[in-house]
Amino acid sequence: MSSTTCQICDGEVEEFLDLGRQPLSDAFPAEGDLGHEFFYRLAVGMCRSCSMVQSMEQVPRERMFNEDYPYYSSGSSVMRAHFEGIARGFLGGELARPDPFIVEIGSNDGVLLKTIHDAGVRHVGFEPSGKVAAAAAERGVRVLGEFFDAGTAAGTRESDGPADVIFAANTICHIPYLRSILAGVKTLLAPDGVFVFEDPYLGDIVAKRSFDQIYDEHFFLFSARAVQAMAARFGLELVDVERLAVHGGEVRYTIARAGARKPKAVVADLIAAENARQLADLRTLRQFAAATARIRDDLVATLRRLRAAGHEIVGYGATAKSATVTNFCGIGPDLVSYVCDTTPAKQGRFTPGTHIPIRPAEAFSDPYPDFALLFAWNHENEIMAKEQGFRRAGGQWIRYVPDVHLG
Ligand code: SAM
Ligand code: TMP
Ligand code: ZN
């Protein structure tokens, strides 16, 4: 266990969980690329000063977010509805003013900005990953193929004026250079504007023992306490929080310029709840780390037992999260025959590091396997609704969050 320097406050980050040597979670090698993958050490710690939970090592941003980035936000019907709801909320709320302007960081395939574009509202999305950005542009969304940071934010302030809303989903936690992002937000945000972002919540990760939320892209695991302290360091203020059920449990944070808005009582309530459960205590986080090791041992023993009894096991959903699970647990094609996934860019390729073949979703029922390891557990409701035939055919799901269970 080692220590490093906090990306937010330069305090000392103490490691509490080592998930070992890991590949990029969203880089799915083709047959010819096997053996040439990039690896790094995936470990997390907590800052002793500001309590921000963060990775011990950084992966260069261009390695993760480039032309080949394969995650398309519109791939899930639940997420499409989620983002349409957020866009409608902004249109009827923060953007219901003369000539409003919204900026999205990590706009991906335009899943949110499409609704804004259709309403004729000024917008721009920052999206460095080429193919997903092109998909948004095809929908008419205005996209800049750049990383948002202090420099690019200043450019947009100059060309478009101040933003009433800066929004980001599942992106801010990906960014180690968060100080540069916050400087950019300060430059670009209108005096009474809001910076709204939603990301996986440390409180849910610890409660559900969902260690697979930790991977290269999830550099920070946010808590309300750490986000409040971070905002204050930059002359900003956390004014609202909302817990969300999507992606296994997230929080939406609303940040304004310090003193511009009165913080809602839910901010203090959530921080009090975090303090009551000692979320910012290294002992709590070490217990979480111990639970992670138990889940790994249980899962591997279960898979080996089922395989020894002659059962076929397949994975459901080649999620970024599954890279952590398969690499930490050492799960390869000897235990899981293939992983089915709806994303064409992943099909015909292999899981990062562990090289399990990825097949189209249709392969799942042709014929059904005996057991399916639910890697996409964050999309559980959507998947259970459409895969009822699997259980009817006698199949069983294998889950590992919050513990290993079959059914
Ligand atoms: N917002 C979408 C959602 O919630 O489904 C996409 C989330 S995806 C996990 C993260 C996205 O952030 C990727 O498309 C990536 O290219 C983009 N990204 C990463 N760093 C960024 C930065 N500094 N500025 C803008 N986008 C960034
Ligand atoms: P994520 O957990 O990183 O969001 O990735 C979800 C992956 O799961 C993505 O590759 C698409 C896949 N998926 C399916 O294969 N079937 C489904 O029904 C859903 C909702 C997702
Ligand atoms: Zn710190």
Is residue 272 pLDDT above 80, yes or no? yes
What SS3 class is residue 177? coil
Which residues are within 5 Å of ligand 3 (an ion), measured at CB? 6, 8-9, 11, 47, 49-50, 52
ipTM higher than the 0.90 cut? yes
Residue among 73, 76, 338, 365 to mutate when testing ligand 2 (max atoms within 8 A of CB): 76
Query: How confident is the model at residue 407, as a pLDDT?
Result: 93
Average pLDDT over residues 289-301: 98
CATH number, domain at 170? 3.40.50.150
Q: 83: Cβ below 6 Å to ligand 1? A: no
- Domain enclosing residue 213, as ranges: 64-282
Decide if 200 is inside a domain. yes
Decide if 211 is inside a domain. yes
Mean pLDDT of the chain: 97
Query: How confident is the model at residue 288, as a pLDDT?
Result: 98
Decide if 343 is inside a domain. no
Residue among 174, 179, 199, 215 to mutate when testing ligand 1 (max atoms within 8 A of CB): 174
Q: 143: Cβ below 6 Å to ligand 2? A: no
Give the whole-angstrom CA distance, residue 131 versus residue 215: 22
161 dihedral zone (left: phi>0; alpha: psi -120 to 50; beta):
left
The pLDDT tens digits of the residues spanning 127-174 come to 999 999 999 999 999 999 999 999 999 999 999 999 999 999 999 999
Nearest Cα to 21, choosing from 47, 39, 33?
39
Query: How confident is the model at residue 2, as a pLDDT?
Result: 76
Decide if 359 is inside a domain. no
Direct distance between the N- and C-terminal alpha carbons of the chain, in angstroms, rounded to an integer: 37
Decide if 169 is inside a domain. yes
**Closest listed ligand to the CA of 319:** 2
Decide if 137 is inside a domain. yes
Q: 128: Cβ below 6 Å to ligand 1? A: yes
Return contacts of 156-161, CB within 8 angstroms, 24+ apart. 156/103, 156/124, 156/188, 157/187, 157/188, 160/101, 160/122, 160/124, 161/101
Residue among 108, 111, 342 to mutate when testing ligand 2 (max atoms within 8 A of CB): 342
- Residue 106 Cα, ligand 1 centroid: separation in angstroms? 3
Number of structural domains, the chain? 1
Give the whole-angstrom CA distance, residue 365 versus residue 390: 7
Residue 1: which pLDDT band, with cuts at 50, 70 and 90?
low
Q: Could you give the C-alpha distances from 389 to 311, 317, 371, in angstroms and in order?
A: 18, 17, 13
Nearest Cα to 198, choosing from 114, 99, 68, 89?
89
Q: 105: Cβ below 6 Å to ligand 1? A: yes
The pLDDT tens digits of the residues spanning 215-265 come to 999 999 999 999 999 999 999 999 999 999 999 999 999 999 999 999 999
* Percent of the chain scoring above 90 in pLDDT: 98
Decide if 389 is inside a domain. no
The pLDDT tens digits of the residues spanning 301-322 come to 999 999 999 999 999 999 999 9
Instruction: Work out whether the CA dihedral 378, 379, 385, 391 comes out positive or negative.
Output: negative
Q: 343: Cβ below 6 Å to ligand 2? A: yes
Average pLDDT over residues 391-397: 97
Decide if 334 is inside a domain. no
* Ligand 2 atom with least separation from CA of 316: 15
Query: How confident is the model at residue 35, as a pLDDT?
Result: 87
Is residue 3 pLDDT above 90, yes or no? no
